[in-house]
Structure 1
Amino acid sequence: MVSAVSVLTLIRGRQRHFDHLLAGLAAQDQLPLELVVAYMQDHPPAVREDLPFPVRTVQVPGETMPLARARNAAAAGARGDILAFLDVDCIPDQRFVRRAEDVAWMDANGVFLPEVRYLPGCEAGWLEGDGLPDYHRLLASARRHPAKPAIAHADTLPIDDFGELWGLAFILSASTWSDAGGMDEAYIGYGAEETDFGRRLRASDARLHWVGGTVCFHQHHRVHKPPLQHFSSIIRNARLFRERWGEWCMQYWIDDFARRGLVRFDADELTVLRAPNPDEIAATKQGADVLYS
């Protein structure tokens, strides 16, 4: 049976992570219709030639990460009836595509979030000698984010809060994506575009679910807590979100900025007092033992 699932990912750099994502898709027990890659760099990523599914690429230029525009470009180029967005840092388990198709047909207006587990750093990588993921080692090594529920063995569970929408991995029909209008390209750089899209989905009468039966393994990269390297775009996008929806988002980060004397923040106003300096940004970079922000 030909799958109806287009897997979509974004990339800027991270070629090694991308190689692992490709290996995970090659290991699927039901292959995707295609992989669509929106690349935010000068040249498309290298793609191995022995893949059992087609890979198509679309360039999305922009010095500041145009994440919303890139997701829209990937969706516009997809041919499948089901869109499975997967972060380039993720390795899907063998059931990801099959579960995406199962649940999307179950609820045509549904949006589905699979469980994500975080991997430690591994210089040797996560592939076996045959070039496919070592899933036994992945399962033994990965950890669930403590703020997320354990859902791997569930079927589906409803989610009331659309703020749970998570860009790392989400699945929906192409018609549900279209009904919500895609992502708002006024958000540029890091932060808020996913939260905004959750609001757009809710306004279009979509339904949000956790989906079990599959796990996506997030490959390690060092993180900043808080993400001071994205200070300017977080401030800009938080203001835009408030203009759109009448409230703030990313408050946990902005509160941290306020404690550092970078901003003044209350229910009505966000004022930048100064930008973080390079030493402050460097000091927020976490060690290799920190798996998530």
Structure 2
Amino acid sequence: MSVRTAVVTVASRARAAHVYRQRAFVSALHRPRLLRAEAWLDPEPPPADPPALHVPPGDHGLRVGEGRNAAADAAITAGAELLIFLDADCLPGPELVDRYVQAAAALPGSILCGPVTYLAEGVAPAGLADLDALTRPHAARPNPEPGAIVIAEPADYNLFWSLSFAVGAATWRASGGFSPAYQGYGAEDTDFAWRARAAGIPLAWVGGAHAYHQWHPTSAPPWQHLDDILRNGATFAARWGEWPMGGWLEQFAAAGAIEWDGATWRRVPDPPAS
């Protein structure tokens, strides 16, 4: 690995155990020149060891995109030429760094995405050697053969997610990073991808750059994020002319929680108390 590379993560105390395991797996890759940049998003300052950035919440929730921006900028300032973004819940596979470095050399100026496996409840790999047998990439995203790189079609930019991706420092700066207009849950990934597409930045799927998402409880649809989805979805729609997260919106509407009023999605008012 000759190119100076950094692993960029946003973290919170709610995911601290996952972040600490991620640190251990990154360390186990035994790449002494591999940098790490973390931004913690809680209201309270982050743990002091190791040093980390603090990006506290905004008026509407966690500033995930701004946290990624701050950590990426810190990594570039420290000399990183290639940024590997890993979600706080994600563990790197043994070949993740090498595959991204190779793909960045083959396709400079691109955004690179590797496959992600969602680990089942109760599955907590002890080390890198445990990961190969657990590899079951999410079926909704491309999974090229190891060493293969597949260029995305324009419609495929909708499949971008920030769980695991890599980008060169110059391309990151050209992309403008993640928009600060989104706080809380939803839409910042699709907005980032659509702005990259508008700027002519290629998106590619990288075979063998596996990451592994550690289990945590979820809900489908994500009721706890309904207000975030409506707010961020409206921001996205004002910018791009259509709403993101259509599947979640359909499920909320089918449950009677939201409705289309002819101009926007909004909550259905609670009936008056009898």
TM-score by length of 2: 0.88
Q: Is the CA contact 1:157–1:211 (under 8 Å) kept in the aligned structure 2?
A: yes
Quickly say closer, same or farther: Cα 1:86–1:62, change in 2 above 3 A.
Answer: same
Q: State the alpha-carbon separation in 1 of the partners of residues 194 and 170 from structure 2.
A: 17
Q: Is the CA contact 2:113–2:160 (under 8 Å) kept in the aligned structure 1?
A: yes
| Residue in structure 1 matching 2:46, options 44, 47, 65 | 44
Q: Structure 2 unaligned runs (5+)?
A: none
Letter of the aligned partner of 1:271 in structure 2? Answer: R
2:110 equivalent to 1:110 = yes
Match of 2:221 in 1: 226
Match of 1:91 in 2: 91
Cα deviation, 1:192-237, whole Å, max 9, x if unaligned, reads 0000000111111110110012211111111110011011110000
Q: Is the CA contact 1:4–1:101 (under 8 Å) kept in the aligned structure 2?
A: no
How far the C-alpha of 1:139 sits from its partner, in A, is 2.6
Q: Is the CA contact 1:25–1:94 (under 8 Å) kept in the aligned structure 2?
A: no
Q: State the alpha-carbon separation in 1 of the partners of residues 51 and 148 from structure 2.
A: 31
Match of 2:268 in 1: 273
Letter of the aligned partner of 1:72 in structure 2? Answer: N
2:23 equivalent to 1:22 = yes
How far the C-alpha of 1:33 sits from its partner, in A, is 2.9
Letter of the aligned partner of 2:208 in structure 1? Answer: G
How far the C-alpha of 1:2 sits from its partner, in A, is 5.2
Q: Is the CA contact 1:29–1:94 (under 8 Å) kept in the aligned structure 2?
A: no
Quickly say closer, same or farther: Cα 1:32–1:152, change in 2 above 3 A.
Answer: farther
Q: State the alpha-carbon separation in 1 of the partners of residues 46 and 245 from structure 2.
A: 32
Question: Which secondary structure state, in structure 1, belongs to the residue aligned with residue 207 of structure 2?
Answer: strand
2:160 equivalent to 1:180 = no
Letter of the aligned partner of 2:24 in structure 1? Answer: A
Letter of the aligned partner of 1:69 in structure 2? Answer: E
2:140 equivalent to 1:147 = yes
Cα deviation, 1:135-176, whole Å, max 9, x if unaligned, reads 23x332343222223325242011112111111001111111
Question: Which secondary structure state, in structure 1, belongs to the residue aligned with residue 72 of structure 2?
Answer: helix
Match of 1:33 in 2: 34
Match of 1:50 in 2: none
Q: State the alpha-carbon separation in 2 of the partners of residues 145 and 221 from structure 1.
A: 16
Q: Is the CA contact 2:40–2:55 (under 8 Å) kept in the aligned structure 1?
A: yes
User: Over aligned residue pairs, what C-alpha RMSD do you find?
Assistant: 2.0
Question: Which secondary structure state, in structure 2, belongs to the residue aligned with residue 157 of structure 1?
Answer: strand
Letter of the aligned partner of 1:35 in structure 2? Answer: R
Match of 1:126 in 2: 125
Letter of the aligned partner of 1:170 in structure 2? Answer: F
2:236 equivalent to 1:241 = yes
How far the C-alpha of 1:265 sits from its partner, in A, is 2.4
Q: Is the CA contact 1:3–1:33 (under 8 Å) kept in the aligned structure 2?
A: no
Q: Structure 1 unaligned runs (5+)?
A: 48-54, 128-132, 276-293
Q: Is the CA contact 2:25–2:128 (under 8 Å) kept in the aligned structure 1?
A: no
Letter of the aligned partner of 1:33 in structure 2? Answer: L
TM-score by length of 1: 0.83
Quickly say closer, same or farther: Cα 1:75–1:143, change in 2 above 3 A.
Answer: same
- Mapping for residues 146-165 of structure 1, pairs under 5 Å: 146-160=139-153, 161-165=156-160
Q: Which moved more, 1:11-20 or 1:259-268?
A: 259-268
Q: How many residues align?
A: 261
Letter of the aligned partner of 2:148 in structure 1? Answer: D
| Residue in structure 2 matching 1:258, options 234, 253, 256 | 253
Q: Is the CA contact 1:180–1:204 (under 8 Å) kept in the aligned structure 2?
A: yes
Q: Is the CA contact 1:30–1:95 (under 8 Å) kept in the aligned structure 2?
A: no
Q: Is the CA contact 2:93–2:128 (under 8 Å) kept in the aligned structure 1?
A: no
Q: Is the CA contact 2:157–2:197 (under 8 Å) kept in the aligned structure 1?
A: yes
Q: State the alpha-carbon separation in 1 of the partners of residues 96 and 250 from structure 2.
A: 36
